[in-house]
Amino acid sequence: MKIAVIGAGAMGCRFGLALMDAGAEVVLCDVWQEHIDAINKNGLRVLRQDVSSYVKIPATTDIKSIGTVDVVLIFTKAIHTEAAMKQALEIMSSTTPIVTLQNGLGSISVIEHYVGTERIIAGITNYQSDLLEPGAIDLGADKPGFYTKFKALGSACEGISRELYRLLKSAGMNCEISDDIMKEIWEKLAFNNAMNLITSLTKQRDGYVCKSPYGFELSELIAREVCDVALAEGVNVDYNSVVRVFERVRESSVHITSMLQDVLQTKPTEVDAICGAVIEKAAKHGINTPHLKTVFNLIKVVEANYEHQVLHL
C-alpha cells in the first residue's frame, strides 16, 4: 500500500513512521523546505524515551513527484485542509480515500467538497509527538491510555480502513475501528477546548492545569458547554468520559499541547476549528457558552498581539 502523508509535522511524521514500520510504502509531504531537506539528508531523527535514532523515510515538498497513491493521510492543521486537498488531487485516483485524524471540526466538510463522503476515513488520536527541530521528533513515552480510532464514512473505503487498522496494530499502536466516530470526535473536541486553550493562555503543561483545582473546574465548565452543543447536534457524547480524561491527565501527563506550542512559537493556532466552530454551532441552537466564548476571545487577543507580548520585566 502506497500512502502519502500531507502535513509532515510532529504527528504526520509519527504516523508515517509507524505505517512504514508496518510495511507500507510511505512518502512524507510538507511545504517546510528546511524540515524536508533535513529528513532527506540525515533521515528523520526520532527520540524515543531519551534514545535517539535516524530513520530513512522518503520526504518531499513536490507533491507531483510522489505519483498516484492508494491512500492520502492529511495531518495538516485544520486551517490548511483546503490547501492540502488541492495538493492531494494531484496524486489521487478516482477511488483513493482520504484519511483525516485532524483536530477540531470542519476538515471533514472541506474534504467532502472534493471527494464526497464515500471516500473519507475520519478519526481521532491522542498519541503525542513533539517537533524538536527541522527533521527531528520526540515521541515521548507510550502510555496505556494512548489510542487511535477511526471509521470509514462510506462503504467504499471500509477495506482500506481495515488495512490501516492492521498496519497500525502491526506497528504496535493501540488502534480500533469505531462504531460511533462522531461521538469520539466531539468528546475529544470537548477535551481539546479545555486543555488546548487553558494551557495556551496560562503557558502551563496540561497536567499542571488539571492539578490546579481552578484549572480543573474551568476544564469541566468548558467541556460541559461543548457536550451540550454536541447533544444538540444529535451526537450522544458522554460528559463524564471527558472528565475522566482530565483526571488521568492530572495524574500522569506533562504534555505541551499543540496549541501552546503554536503560541510559544507565535504561530497561528487552530482555535477557529477547535473552539470557534463549536461557538457557531452553539449559536445556531441558541445555547449559551460563556466560558468557551471567553477563552476563545482571549486566544484571539494573544494571536493578534504576538509582537507585543511582555516576556519579562
Q: Residues 187-210: pLDDT tens digits?
A: 999 999 999 999 999 999 999 999
3-state secondary structure of 99: strand
- Helix (H) or strand (E) holding 130, with range, is strand 130-133
pLDDT per residue over 102-121, tens digit each?
999 989 999 999 999 999 99
Q: Which of these, 16, 5, 6, 70, lies nearest to 43 by C-alpha position?
A: 16
Residue 131: partners with Cβ closer than 8 Å, 6 or more residues away: 9, 10, 13, 137, 261
Position 255 confidence tier, pLDDT thresholds 50, 70, 90:
confident
Band (125; pLDDT cuts 50, 70, 90): very high
Closest among 236, 237, 198 to 217, alpha carbons compared: 198
pLDDT at 120: 97
Give the model's pLDDT for residue 293.
98
Q: Mean pLDDT over all residues of the chain?
A: 95
Sheet order of strands, 44-48 included? 51-55, 44-48, 136-138, 130-133
Quick one: what percent of the chain has pLDDT higher than 70? 100
Q: Is 265 helix (H, G, I), strand (E, B) or coil?
A: coil
Confidence of residue 304 (pLDDT cuts 50, 70, 90): very high
Q: How far apart are CA 226 and CA 269, in angstroms?
A: 19
Distance CA 57, CA 40 (A): 8
Which of 56, 54, 60, 92 shows the shortest CA–CA distance to 73?
A: 92
Distance CA(266)–CA(224), nearest Å, equals 29
- Of the candidates 95, 76, 101, 86, the residue with the CA atom closest to the CA atom of residue 164: 101
Cα 131 to Cα 14, 207, 237, 293, distances in angstroms: 10, 20, 32, 30
Q: Could you give the angle at the alpha carbon of 139 between the alpha carbons of 71 and 217, nearest 5°?
A: 100
User: 280-312 as b/e, with b when 16 or more CB fall inside 10 Å?
Assistant: ebbeeeebebebbbebbeebeebbeeeeeeeee
Domains of the chain: 2-179 (3.40.50.720), 182-308 (1.10.1040.10)
Check whether 142 has a pLDDT greater than 80.
Answer: no
> Is the pLDDT confidence value at 51 over 80?
yes
Closest listed residue to residue 75, CA positions, set 23, 21, 137: 137
pLDDT in tens, 151-170: 999 999 999 999 999 999 99
Q: Is the CB of residue 57 less than 8 Å from the CB of residue 39?
A: yes
Q: How far apart are CA 174 and CA 165, in angstroms?
A: 9
CA angle 182, 120, 12 (to 5 degrees): 90
